[in-house]
Structure 1
Amino acid sequence: MLLGKVPKDFDISTNATPEQVHRLFRNSRIIGRRFKIVHVVFGQEIIEVTTFRSAVNGNLGRNQIQNDDGMLIRDNSYGKTLEEDATRRDFTINAIYYDISNFTLIDFHGGLYDLNNGIIDIIGDPHTRYQEDPVRMIRAVRFSAKLGFKISKRTADPIKTHSALLLNVSNARMFDEVNKLFLTGHGLQSFHKLRDFGLFNLLFPGLDGFIENKDYQAFVEYALASSDQRFAQQKRNMPHFLYTIMFLGKFRALMIKHYELNESRIHQVADDVIADEICQEMLMEQNAVTALPWQVSADIRKLLKSQNELLNIHDQNAVAAMAESNILRASFDIFKLRAKFEPYLSPYIRFWQPYYDRSSQRAEQRRALFNKKEDQTSANAKGKQKKNKPAEKNEGYKREKATSRAERLAKARAWRAAMHLDP
């Protein structure tokens, strides 16, 4: 809000433990083992509630556990004050608190100064903080790409030194972080900054030789810029599209190598079999870093193979199958991106464009029908609530309702006192 932007969500910090928060809000759940937080469901929103953290010190107990590299693999040691909690935040701009009781900002680490000057600066010793949680290096890059801020020298310098620590982070967490880097409107800037810090090759193993190719790099940049534009138009970007863009250069190079080898074979191997083997090898290598959900992997495989299938316009059965495929639009979108750099694809673009348009129209019709059903369901639910609402015909009923509300408030205050939640 200080930057004139609409925040995606609000995080709440409290001295109540996750268990206490969970007991207070029935529609909540505790998530995370390494770092417990509470998700409170409020209407259509999920509000993240965290407990004050205490500083990491040499006397680690069972609530704070580090591995041999200094990474905190459990961090549920709770603090008592806001200032103590602020020291555990990653960057100064993320350690600015808003006190709703008196509508004031609380800033212990100069976050407002850095915010106004466009600086990403880590709190504490950078080496120690990166060892505690290597994902902070990714977050520094992401905030810099998203906000257009400069990473301070002391924050940036140790990144290349500690970059290998990212391999210790769970691949499920890394999948989420990569999505945040590339799918939320600043993918092109993230790509450039990751390469500047030598992090791209860690996130996408085995692709460095292909990304170094200037022509393919230009294609990736063009595709990421297109994805950023989609996000600005409030359209969703999907993980399978991102990974297909990244994998496509290597996939095509390996397929060309297969074609050359096949020429000298007595018993030739079917292209489809080889394509599956290449996809499997690439996906396994990537899964070691980012845990690709099964459906995402399946869609990546389909999209990669479909780039060859779109060239097969003289086989009526193949054309009919592709025209009815649920990946036609995504596959054709990639095909059109390629056409900017591969002019020979233009006739194929003209051939498939009518099929693409019809598929888009059907998708729009399905979306409109779904939204209509959702609106009707919502209207029916509201009507039912209104119908079941008791009539407030007399003052006696209102007094009774007010009394019950007062009783509930009294019970809530008593509970807070018993749980030591009040200051």
Structure 2
Amino acid sequence: MITKFIKRILRRDPMVKHTQANNSGAPKRIPKKAHRIDPHLLSKNAVKVTHTLQQAGYEAFIVGGAVRDLALGIEPKDFDVATNATPDQVQRLFRKARLIGRRFQIVHVTFFGKGHPEIIEVSTFRALLDNAGDHVAESGRILRDNVWGSQDEDAARRDFTINAMYYDPSSETVLDYHGGMADMQKKTLRMIGDPAKRYREDPIRMLRAIRFAAKTGFTLDALTRAPIAKLSNLLQDVPSARLFDEILKLLMSGYSWAAIQGLRDAGLHHGLLPLLDHILDSGEDSKGANDFVKLALANTDQRIQSGKSVSAGFLFATLLWPDLLKNWKANIAKGMSNLPALNDAMDDTIATQSSGMTIQRRFESDMREIWSMQPRFEKRVGRYPYRLIESPRFRAGYDFMLLRCATGEQNPALGEWWTLFIATDPAGQDELMASAKNESGNSANPVKRRRRRKPKEATPAENVPD
């Protein structure tokens, strides 16, 4: 049935193009016994995409990070396919396929099965852009990238040698154009071509270098590292949405603390997250903030490495909490009451952050809800605990409060009380609330102030003497 469908496509598009490999850029062909890729780690849908394209007369390979992970014996989370078929030709071969992107046009082929749908990203071999005219800005950043080329050109266009390998599932052969397999054996991360030029083409590559080094444990090649500090200001020209996506990938890589340390070592942390400026440039003064963030990131890394889900809103709430806490305390010192001081601190913290990497609004609302829940954990009488549990973000707020307890910012007894309250029956909950009511010094929040009831103001009539 698939064969009939492909033949039907070929009849509609008889001009099937074949990109011939450039002899001057011939790859090293690595057989199965040398690369030792386990076929069981392959996505069946990715193999189906390459097979369908090859049956239609095109070249098709699994490419990039998936090949790198497969060669390391790691099951890839995502699979990309590279082909000499144009995006329009790819789209016509698959029923559930759509074109996305303007600057870098690709095709998403979606497969539905048990669990979540799987998207295989299919890109066309890119050409070198040395003489691309209006495709490249004066700074060197690529503006448009939809010029098709040969496979060896596509390999030269990729960022790192370990990401420029192509795997053909049908022949179980790896095509290695730039010594990526050798660099993997040396645990070296090396840029293809002139690193400074490649960073100017796409400044995001500097962040990718740090992320890959943290994830793989590889060392950045000296020539690859050298230009990063001088070119860090190029990140200011990257669209905010794309910068946010890359920082989110870095923080949710499963090796976030190592990645953040890598940002500092490379001089890339300034201006991305104000928190990073505070905790990575300061010493003992920021030890508490450092401990809080490090614990939060360690928990995030552990969850990701265990295959558990992670909330980006929760993650950014933890990263910006030390900055918010400082603003909250400052507002209290100015004479503001507790909750208005907290609300103003939220606004100030988010406004400061927007001068660097802008956090998307959907995550911003989650952050505000988690933050605003913190003083409410102190109210353990009446209907307050029951109302708090019913909040949609209760679990996130509760986990956040436990982090504060673990670092000594909040009294650990508060976390223990809520942990028992969640687990016990209604009778036990009533006993817990009764015990909380009898406690003196119920709150250990350093910024909480007890409200004083204002004296009742006299009415004009009351001021009239008898």
- Shorter-chain TM-score tier: 0.7 to 0.9
User: Which residue of the other structure, out of 277, 280, 290, is the alignment partner of 2:347?
Assistant: 280
Residue 236 and residue 22 in structure 1: after superposition, are their counterparts in 2 closer, same or farther (change >3 A)? same
Q: Counterpart in 1 of 2:158?
A: 89
CA contact (8 A) 1:210 1:249 kept: no
SS at match of 1:47: strand
2:139 aligned with 1:69: yes
| Residue deviations 1:285-332 (CA, integer Å, cap 9, x gap) | 43454443322111101112222322333x534333322212222122
Aligned partners of 2:158 and 2:74: how far apart in 1? 21
| Residue deviations 1:359-404 (CA, integer Å, cap 9, x gap) | 9xxxxxxxxxxxxxxxxxxxxxxxxxxxxxxxxxxxxxxxxxxxxx
Q: Counterpart in 2 of 1:404?
A: none
User: Which residue of the other structure, out of 195, 217, 235, is the alignment partner of 2:308?
Assistant: 235
Residue 344 and residue 86 in structure 1: after superposition, are their counterparts in 2 closer, same or farther (change >3 A)? closer
Q: Counterpart in 2 of 1:391?
A: none
The CA deviation at 1:205 is 2.9
2:378 aligned with 1:311: yes
The CA deviation at 1:354 is 2.8
Residue 102 and residue 350 in structure 1: after superposition, are their counterparts in 2 closer, same or farther (change >3 A)? closer
Residue 29 and residue 358 in structure 1: after superposition, are their counterparts in 2 closer, same or farther (change >3 A)? farther
CA contact (8 A) 1:174 1:289 kept: no
Aligned partners of 2:424 and 2:152: how far apart in 1? 58
CA contact (8 A) 2:404 2:410 kept: no
Q: Counterpart in 2 of 1:266?
A: none
The CA deviation at 1:238 is 1.1
Residue 121 and residue 356 in structure 1: after superposition, are their counterparts in 2 closer, same or farther (change >3 A)? farther
Residue 18 and residue 358 in structure 1: after superposition, are their counterparts in 2 closer, same or farther (change >3 A)? farther
| Residue deviations 1:134-185 (CA, integer Å, cap 9, x gap) | 1101111111111111111111111111111112111111222122111231
Q: Counterpart in 2 of 1:224?
A: 297
Q: Counterpart in 1 of 2:127?
A: 54
The one-letter code of the counterpart of 2:392 is N
User: Which residue of the other structure, out of 390, 393, 401, is the alignment partner of 1:335?
Assistant: 401
CA contact (8 A) 2:254 2:305 kept: yes
Equivalences for residues 20-35 of structure 1 within 5 A: 20-35=89-104
Equivalences for residues 172-251 of structure 1 within 5 A: 172-205=241-274, 207-211=276-280, 212=282, 213-251=286-324
Q: Counterpart in 2 of 1:134?
A: 203
2:84 aligned with 1:18: no
2:190 aligned with 1:121: yes
5+ residue gaps, structure 2: 1-69, 426-466
User: Which residue of the other structure, out of 416, 425, 437, is the alignment partner of 1:350?
Assistant: 416
CA contact (8 A) 1:118 1:148 kept: yes
5+ residue gaps, structure 1: 263-268, 360-423
Aligned partners of 1:344 and 1:304: how far apart in 2? 14
The CA deviation at 1:356 is 4.0
SS at match of 2:104: coil
SS at match of 2:229: helix
SS at match of 2:388: helix
Q: Counterpart in 2 of 1:102?
A: 171
The CA deviation at 1:71 is 1.1
2:383 aligned with 1:320: no
Aligned partners of 2:342 and 2:260: how far apart in 1? 27
The one-letter code of the counterpart of 1:60 is A
Q: Let me know the Cα RMSD of the aligned residues.
A: 2.0
SS at match of 1:78: coil
Q: Counterpart in 2 of 1:374?
A: none
CA contact (8 A) 2:275 2:322 kept: no
CA contact (8 A) 1:207 1:250 kept: no
- TM-score after normalising by structure 2: 0.71
Aligned partners of 1:68 and 1:356: how far apart in 2? 59
Q: Counterpart in 2 of 1:392?
A: none
CA contact (8 A) 1:241 1:330 kept: yes
Q: Counterpart in 2 of 1:366?
A: none
Aligned partners of 1:185 and 1:151: how far apart in 2? 19
The one-letter code of the counterpart of 1:319 is P
User: Which residue of the other structure, out of 341, 352, 361, is the alignment partner of 1:294?
Assistant: 361
2:324 aligned with 1:255: no
Equivalences for residues 264-275 of structure 1 within 5 A: 269-275=336-342
The CA deviation at 1:272 is 2.6
CA contact (8 A) 1:70 1:132 kept: yes
Aligned partners of 1:325 and 1:334: how far apart in 2? 14
The CA deviation at 1:61 is 4.0
Aligned partners of 1:105 and 1:243: how far apart in 2? 39
Residue 294 and residue 344 in structure 1: after superposition, are their counterparts in 2 closer, same or farther (change >3 A)? closer
Is the deviation greater in 205-214 or in 238-247? 205-214
- TM-score after normalising by structure 1: 0.77
